[in-house]
Structures are given as C-alpha cells and as structure tokens.
C-alpha cells in the first residue's frame, strides 16, 4: 500500500516539496495530497505590485504552475479552496474545510509537510471590515485589490500604511495607476530594511515621483463613509483615502502548528533541522515563510520570508522525503527591490543588527558610478559596507543606484557567504569594460575604503 504525503499550503515551499518527492517516488509508492485554501498554486506573490501597476498585463503570468499541471504531470492531488483547520498528530490526520462546497475532509498521512507561509500583521484598527482596505499577501488579495481599483467610482486617493518592501512597491504601483498616494510610516523613514542613510535616498526618490511620505506617524484607526473607507486616522490627524493598502509586515503562519504542539522558535517560526524536519515529531517537515532559520552571520535564529528561501527549503524537504539527502544551510538576508528609478540591494547585517549581535564594526559609505564616468549613461551608485573589527570580516552591505546596482549585491553576498574580509575583497578579479564598470568597480572602491577605516580605527 502506498504511503501518503499531505502538504498544507500550495505555494512555493509546499509544491516544491511535493514535486521533488514525486520525482523520486511514483504514485504506487507515494500518494501526494496538497491542500490550498486559495485559488492558485505556485505563484509569485512578489510580482503582485507589478500586476497591480499594469507593468505585468495578465494575472496568470504570475502563476508558475497551475493545479492542472500538478495533477496531470506530477500526479499530485491538489485540492484548492480547502483550508486545513486541525492537525491530529496522534491519529496522523488533518481536518480540512471545503470553502466552496461546504463540509469537511479528513486525510490521513504518513508524512506531513507544513508550508502555510506567513500572514500579514493586522492591528486591531484594521479589523473592522471596512470596504476598500486590503493586504497583498496572496494572489487572491491582489485580485481583490485590482477589482476594487477598477470598479466605479474609481478610487483617486490611496494610502499605504507601512514602508517596508511591499509598502514602497505598492505605493509606486498605485502612482503608476494614476492615483494620488500617501505612505504613512511609524518610523522616521521608509525602507527600514536598510540603514537610515541609505533609506533617505529611497525616500527622496519616492518624493520625486509624487508619493507623499508621512513618517513618524502612528495609525490609530480608520473612518468610513457609507461602508467604504474614507480616511486613515493618525496621531497627527486624518489622511483621506479611497483605498488603503496595508504593508505592515508579516509573521509566520503557525496557528495550526502551535495547536498541534509543533516546536516554535524565538523568531516565531517553526523550528526545523537542516534537512527541514521538525525535531521530535517523526514524519513532519516544514518549509517556507512559516519556519525560522539560521542567520549565517549573526548566528541567531531569524524569520526572513522570501520566495527564494521557500523554494529552496521546499526542495530540500522533498528530496529528503523522496529518499535523497539535502540540507538548507541558512540565510544571510540578501534582498533586492526596485523603488521608483532606484535599485536597492542589501545583504547581511545592518548597523543595528551588528550592534545587537555584539559585533564591533566600522561602516563606510562610498559614491561611485555603475560604468566608466565618461561612458554615456553612467549613473551614480552608493555602496555601504559594514566590517567587523579587528578581523575585517564583511558583516553586511547595502547598495542604492539607478542602474546595475541590484545585481552587484550578489557579489557582496557571495563574499559574505564565504566569510571574506574586506582586505581580501580588494583583490577580487571583477569584470571590467567601460560600458559595464569603472576600472575600480564600486564594490572594490567600498572595500578599499573599509580597509582604510579599519586601519584608522586600529583594526
């Protein structure tokens, strides 16, 4: 009799695990059932702002593999609009509710993959059920927002609450749709994923395309008119709104896990070993935005929700379930985004992260260009490096520039991943030609400046 693998969550991590397990074990040996509460599988949530803006014309372009492909090509029983409501580890079964047809389904399992992702942070004031207030965590969320933007009367004024990645990307997307946009952020600047000096470059670019940035403001409530959103109430007064997008961050979706007694780590995510097994619970695996992982620089457990990690972790779990061997070695927090005409990249620790982890460090900021200064189209680029003292080991890096900045962060991520010092980095054999880089690449210039800063600080 075939074993049964049950997957909770049909996006990146869950379907990567299911696909990898299927590649190694056929249906006669392993039956795979995947429950997904939404309407889509394996889609790019990161692409939602670009569909909202119209840059990506069709919603289906964001779907990497639809349920029919999984059923027909991979022989995976995908059950959309089924929300798992309970896990019984003693009976080895899950209970799922059919959201469209009604009723409940019980499914026994030999192997369970918990891949429920993350859920948006939602303060009490956002839970009033007012029409016109949206999160953008899932493709279903994006669909609801797009429909609201296209209904009459068309919204004219948007307020985005929260200035992280999704907040700044959605603010730009709504500007591109022709709305007036205000971004409300409790901190002193948007884009707190980078240090304040780099975040100010982002804020300037946002102001430059007409986004109103209202920092240092705490949202206390919402007001409505005829059941529709009318304003966002802050401690400095109301901000009018016909549509509100919440970008307050996310937390691991662990409610089912906690109820079932799965171990939760200090970051709030499910604890897993390097093979993505849940320790102490035989046959249970977890992957994606619901788990915590090791930060390779700080050595601390962290929750960093990214599709890149989710796909890798799901793949690792599936390989192991399928009888192979794979491990997930941790993360260093590399991320890139486009904000207006800027490319923003970061990897490793920010200054406040390095301080919190107990490192002594120097940080340097350099200005350069993406190409030879005389070559047509050369654009400015700001690079920031953080290096440990006295060792000189790279701890973190950030880049902001108008062209070819985002992918340069990968050079720094590789150096960081491999524990290089800034002194070693000054000799990196990077490609040079005037159309692509100056003789001294911005990465090398920053490394040289960090070496000088370490010398001045007595290393």
Residues tagged active-site: 46
For residue 26 the two structure tokens come to 């056929």
Q: Is 106 left (phi over 0), alpha (psi -120 to 50) or beta?
A: beta
User: What whole-number distance in Å separates Cα of residue 228 and Cα of residue 224?
Assistant: 5
Kindly tell me the burial class for residue 344, based on how many C-beta atoms sit within 10 Å of its own C-beta (0-12, 13-18, 19 or more). buried
Query: What whole-number distance in Å separates Cα of residue 401 and Cα of residue 189?
Result: 18
**Residue found under tokens 């985004």:** 337
Distance, CA of 289 to chain centre = 8
Confirm if 396 and 346 have CB atoms less than 8 A apart: yes
Element containing residue 321 per DSSP (H, E): helix 307-321
Report the DSSP beta bridge partners of residue 43: 63
DSSP at 47: G
For residue 99, give every residue at least 6 positions away whose Cβ sits within 8 Å of its Cβ, in sequence order, or none.
37, 81, 82, 83
Long-range contacts of residues 200-207, Cβ cutoff 8 Å, at least 24 apart: 201/342, 201/382, 201/400, 202/168, 202/339, 202/342, 202/344, 202/400, 205/339, 205/340, 205/341, 205/342, 206/168, 206/171, 206/172, 206/339, 206/340
Token couple for 436: 């692509």
Rounded to whole angstroms, the Cα distance separating 168 from 148 reads 20
Q: Distance between CA atoms of 386 and 394, rounded to whole angstroms?
A: 6
- Determine phi and psi for 347, rounding to 5 degrees: -150, 150
CB atoms within 10 A of CB 308: 13
CA distances 16 to 65, 78, 139, Å, are: 11, 13, 18
Q: β-pairing, 3-8 with 111-114?
A: parallel
Asked if 300 and 306 touch (Cβ cutoff 8 Å), the reply is: no
């Amino acid at each position: 009799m075939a074993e049964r693998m049950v997957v909770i969550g049909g996006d990146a991590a869950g379907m990567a695990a299911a696909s990898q397990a299927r590649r190694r074990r056929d249906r006669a040996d392993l039956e795979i059932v995947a429950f997904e509460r939404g309407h889509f599988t394996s889609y790019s949530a990161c692409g939602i702002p670009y569909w909202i803006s119209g840059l990506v014309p069709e919603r289906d372009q964001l779907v990497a593999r639809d349920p029919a492909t999984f059923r027909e090509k991979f022989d995976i029983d995908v059950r959309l609009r089924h929300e798992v409501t309970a896990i019984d580890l003693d009976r080895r079964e899950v209970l799922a509710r059919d959201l469209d047809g009604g009723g409940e389904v019980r499914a026994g399992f030999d192997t369970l993959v918990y891949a429920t992702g993350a859920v948006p942070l939602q303060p009490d004031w956002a839970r009033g059920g007012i029409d016109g207030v949206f999160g953008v965590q899932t493709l279903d969320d994006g669909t609801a927002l797009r429909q609201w933007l296209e209904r009459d009367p068309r919204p004219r004024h948007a307020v985005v609450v929260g200035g992280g990645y999704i907040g700044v990307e959605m603010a730009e997307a709504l500007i591109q749709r022709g709305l007036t946009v205000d971004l409300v952020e409790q901190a002193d600047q948007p884009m707190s994923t980078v240090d304040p000096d780099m975040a100010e470059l982002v804020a300037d670019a946002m102001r430059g395309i007409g986004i109103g940035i209202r920092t240092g403001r705490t949202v206390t409530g919402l007001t409505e008119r005829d059941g529709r959103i009318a304003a966002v109430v802050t401690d400095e007064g109301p901000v009018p709104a016909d549509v509100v997008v919440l970008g307050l961050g996310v937390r691991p979706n662990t409610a089912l896990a906690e109820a079932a007694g799965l171990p939760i780590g200090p970051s709030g995510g499910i604890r897993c070993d390097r093979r993505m097994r849940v320790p102490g619970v035989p046959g249970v695996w977890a992957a994606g935005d619901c788990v915590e992982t090791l930060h390779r620089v700080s050595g601390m457990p962290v929750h960093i929700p990214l599709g890149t990690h989710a796909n890798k972790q799901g793949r690792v779990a599936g390989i192991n379930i399928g009888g192979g061997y794979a491990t997930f070695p941790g993360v260093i927090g590399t991320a890139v985004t486009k904000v207006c005409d800027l490319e923003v990249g970061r990897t490793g620790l920010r200054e406040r992260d390095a301080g919190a982890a107990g490192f002594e460090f120097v940080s340097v900021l350099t200005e350069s260009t993406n190409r030879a200064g005389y070559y047509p189209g050369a654009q400015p680029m700001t690079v920031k490096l953080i290096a440990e003292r006295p060792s000189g080991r790279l701890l973190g890096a950030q880049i902001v520039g108008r062209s070819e900045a985002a992918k340069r962060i990968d050079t720094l991520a590789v150096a960081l991943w491999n524990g290089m010092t800034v002194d070693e980095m000054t000799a990196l054999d990077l490609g040079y030609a005037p159309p692509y880089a100056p003789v001294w690449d911005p990465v090398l210039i920053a490394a040289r400046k960090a070496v000088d800063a370490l010398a001045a600080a007595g290393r």
